[in-house]
Amino acid sequence: MSSLLEVSGVSVSFDGFKAINNLSFAIGDAELRAIIGPNGAGKTTFMDIVTGRTRPDEGRVLWGEANVSLLGLSEARIAREGIGRKFQKPTVFEDQTVLENLLMALRNARGPFQVLFYRPTPGDLDRVHELAGEIGLMDALGRKSGELSHGQKQWLEIGMLLAQEPRLLLVDEPAAGMTPAEREHTTTLLVAAAKSRAVVVIEHDMEFVRRLGCKVTVLHEGAVLAEGSLDHVTANRKVIDVYLGR
């Protein structure tokens, strides 16, 4: 299977500390992957490199069928290439309704003037209703986003990213602070999203990772320590020593 994203031999240091150390990682189109590892393993730095927030000292980051190098591209250009990122804390427009948030996120070519005079087309509204159904917020379309629960805000933000039709979705600790029911819905949402795009989930909650039922990459000291099913990596002696044994 050809890779949608291929990271090879990437290293980056901050003040002499090697946050990422000769890291190689690949994900295919329409694949779900979980990344786990102790604090300081390089999980967030990995996402920063892929999305252009951090420039590595060495290595390659190649994207798509044309093997475009993401190094040197701006964060905005990388987002336009089809890489969406969801941070741990949800960022939605709290004074706007769920409907308005989703409409603003739709991938339409709009400059400042178009945004000012924007009127949603029937097609836009159909797409928003489709997204609201996918993320489980159909009944909340008229509610202000600030009134939503923590979990619902996370789903809305995932919906806003999906509205931009990314080919790769990077999701940072989606289960944090959620109720068990919200976590279950989030699992369903991410598994469904990965049917038509690549989804990479950074997560600490092992039960959540187990429910995702996907391949797991374990990072330690900025490099891949193990890869495989959750049962496979959690039975690995090196993983037990550095991570689960703490």
Pair type for strands 32-36 and 17-28: unpaired
Q: Are 219 and 209 in contact (CB under 8 A)?
A: no
How much is the pLDDT for 46? 96
Please report the sign of the dihedral spanned by the C-alpha atoms of residue 38, residue 23, residue 232, residue 175: positive
Q: Are 9 and 29 in contact (CB under 8 A)?
A: no
pTM for the model:
0.91
Contacting residues for 6 by C-beta, under 8 A, at least 6 apart: 25, 26, 60, 61, 62, 63, 67
d(CA 213, CA 7): 23
d(CA 47, CA 162): 18
How much is the pLDDT for 116? 57
Query: Tens-of-pLDDT digits for all 246 residues of the chain?
Result: 578 999 999 999 999 889 999 999 999 999 999 999 988 899 999 999 999 999 999 999 999 999 999 998 999 999 999 999 998 777 899 999 999 999 989 866 555 555 556 778 888 999 999 999 999 999 999 999 999 999 999 999 999 999 999 999 999 999 888 999 999 999 999 999 999 999 999 998 899 999 999 999 999 999 999 999 999 999 999 988 886 555
Contacting residues for 64 by C-beta, under 8 A, at least 6 apart: 4, 81, 82, 167
Angle, helices 150-163 vs 98-105, to 10°: value is 30
Contacting residues for 96 by C-beta, under 8 A, at least 6 apart: 104, 144, 145
From the CB of residue 7, how many other CB atoms can be counted at a distance below 10 Å? 23
d(CA 114, CA 151): 32
Contacting residues for 36 by C-beta, under 8 A, at least 6 apart: 43, 202, 203, 204, 206, 209, 216, 217, 218, 219, 233, 243
CA 38 to chain CA centroid, Å, is 19
Q: Which domains does the chain have, with CATH numbers?
A: 5-93+166-244 (3.40.50.300)
